[in-house]
Chain A
Amino acid sequence: MIRALPLAAVLLISSATAAVAAQTVKVQLPCDSGYQMLSPTGAQVLVMCEDESVYLVSLPDGSDRLLFPAERRTNSFSFSQDGKWLAAGFHDGTVELLPAQGAAAARRWKADSNRIDQLYFFADAKKLFVSAMNHPGTIWELTETPTLRATLQDKFGGVASVAVSPDGKLLVAGGGDTVVRWYDTTTWKMSHEYDGFLLDTFALIFTPDGKYLLAGGADARVTVFDAASGKQLRQLPPQAGASVGDIDFLSDHSEAVTEYFDNAGEKPPYRLVWNLTTGNSTPVQINFNPTCGSVIQGTLWVCNTDGRTLTITQQQ
């Protein structure tokens, strides 16, 4: 069994072999691609090709394997937090769970009649949140035959974002109806809801200590909630003309990196690092149009492509 190497370890190896400069990994992709997703350990990158076939590429050696040919019509992906499993959602409403490493058997099931838009692993990788276009979110037990555990009702519009608290006791979902709902993961009953947003929430994340919940979306700002009560505590300044697409924490948990996308689609996405204590932000300086990026072990890594060469760079 291949053990997942953290990207930092991979980089040390890469640096030692002089294959790549420190803090940068370069690999050859099997296809032209405008979309990639780094695994949480940095050991792999999922690559969606322009013809919509999907590959998994190992880092840093660049070996790849075809996961799905174009005709399978994938739409959404999620890695488990340990990077060992990958879930894929399809246009026909099916979900496939397959090992990102190792040779465990894949599981495939019909989770919905609509296109699968959201997938989210619980920390133990034993449960998976699934939501389909315009349909309520569902919780699946990842047993030999995945079993529907709960359906989380909303008014309309499905789910735009989801997060589970570090202790696994709370699930929070941002609905297409713009309402954010808190669920008790023991009973799957809604404990409270926040309807103060008029626009969608695209990103939700708990602080690592589980005390706070950060939400961001089309209102262009990050809102901080008390995680347990759902009470809104504060809002960070908005970014004109942009929506918050993603939020993650850096190794200093008082700092959050937020990704913004231009509402008009005319400018490339950009990132700010927010100091949650002071409320001040500093831009992440990138002189290219990133094709993927995520925080791995507390550090932001950003990708860009030049032809079929993928460069993944650590940001200071």
Chain B
Amino acid sequence: MSFSRRELLERCAAFGAITLSTSIPLSSLAYTWDAAEKKLPTPTCELGPFYKRQAPNTSTLRAPGDAGMPLALSGTIYDVRGAIVPDATLEIWQTDNLGHYDIDGYRYRTILEPGGKAGYAIETVMPGHYPQRVCQHVHYLVTAPGHKPLITQMYFATDPVFDGNPDKNYTRDPLLTSRELVRPVMIKGEAMQVTAVVNFDLVMETL
């Protein structure tokens, strides 16, 4: 059984589960609640030429001794109603720190099934720049029953291409479709052992 926001509020009020200390009508409260929960779908980007099927299921993409700043990348998969998508499959791929995709093998490629909490977390390295692309980026493909496949790319606010101002300069990469895809980067750890930490939530559209 499922209730609309308004029905749920009405039932809670009727059974004393909530007490309203406001004169705002229930319908307005329900509308406000809905608006707060809804999410805009994640902007899409192109799949790119180097997607590879059948990647391994691993959350550790970085191997000991790999070049590049370690990157901890995590997030949660939602639908546009704000509900988590527990049965999603998530594919992530990127270049190594020198800007090379692994075509022959599966370095820096993974398929994850986030499960009930729809959360994911991987350990990788900051991807490199390469001649055909302006910005560092990480590719995402998210599929789930009842939802449109989501194909997108995540970018880093620290990318030198943005000159510290991604709001102004994100269009320097013609394939970067939305400022929303440029994520803040938090640096954690001590000198010589720092890790870049990025959160990137994904929002899928329902079919």
Chain A residues proximal to chain B, CB less than 8 Å = 114, 117, 133-134, 155-158, 160, 176-178, 198-200, 202, 218-220, 241, 243, 263-266
A-side contacts of B122, CB under 8 Å: none
Q: Are A199 and B131 in contact (CB under 8 A)?
A: no
B-side contacts of A264, CB under 8 Å: 99-100, 130-131
Q: Are A243 and B49 in contact (CB under 8 A)?
A: yes
Set B53, B54, B103, B132: member contacting A265, Cβ < 8 A: B132
Tell me how many residue pairs across A and B have CB atoms closer than 8 Å. 62
> Which B residues from 10 to 31 make CB contacts under 8 A with A?
none
Query: Which residue on chain B has the smallest CB distance to residue A262?
Result: B131
B51 sits at the interface (CB 8 A): yes
SS class, residues of chain A in contact with chain B:
loop
Q: Are B51 and A157 in contact (CB under 8 A)?
A: yes
Set A133, A177, A199, A265: member contacting B46, Cβ < 8 A: A133
Of the four ranges (under 10, 10 to 19, 20 to 34, 35 or more), the interface on chain B belongs to 20 to 34
CA distance A266 to B46 in the complex (A): 22
Contact with A along B36-50 (1 / 0, CB 8 A): 000000001011011
Q: Are B47 and A157 in contact (CB under 8 A)?
A: yes
A-side contacts of B51, CB under 8 Å: 157, 176, 178, 199-200
B-side contacts of A198, CB under 8 Å: 52-54
Knowing A134-B46, A198-B53 touch, does A266 contact B151 (C-beta < 8 A)? no
B-side contacts of A265, CB under 8 Å: 130-132
Query: Which residue on chain B has the smallest CB distance to residue A238?
Result: B104
A133 to chain B, nearest CB (A): 5
Q: Are A266 and B143 in contact (CB under 8 A)?
A: no
Set B52, B103, B131, B151: member contacting A157, Cβ < 8 A: B151
B149 sits at the interface (CB 8 A): yes
Set A156, A241, A266: member contacting B131, Cβ < 8 A: A266
Interface contacts beyond A134-B47, A199-B51, A264-B99: sample of 13 additional A-B pairs, CB < 8 Å, sorted by A: A117-B46, A155-B143, A156-B47, A156-B151, A158-B47, A176-B47, A200-B49, A200-B50, A218-B52, A243-B49, A263-B103, A264-B100, A265-B131
| Contact sample, A vs B, 13 pairs, CB 8 Å cutoff | A134-B46, A134-B47, A134-B149, A155-B143, A157-B47, A157-B151, A176-B51, A200-B50, A263-B103, A264-B130, A265-B131, A265-B132, A266-B131
A-side contacts of B99, CB under 8 Å: 264
CA distance A205 to B38 in the complex (A): 46
> Which B residues from 155 to 181 make CB contacts under 8 A with A?
none
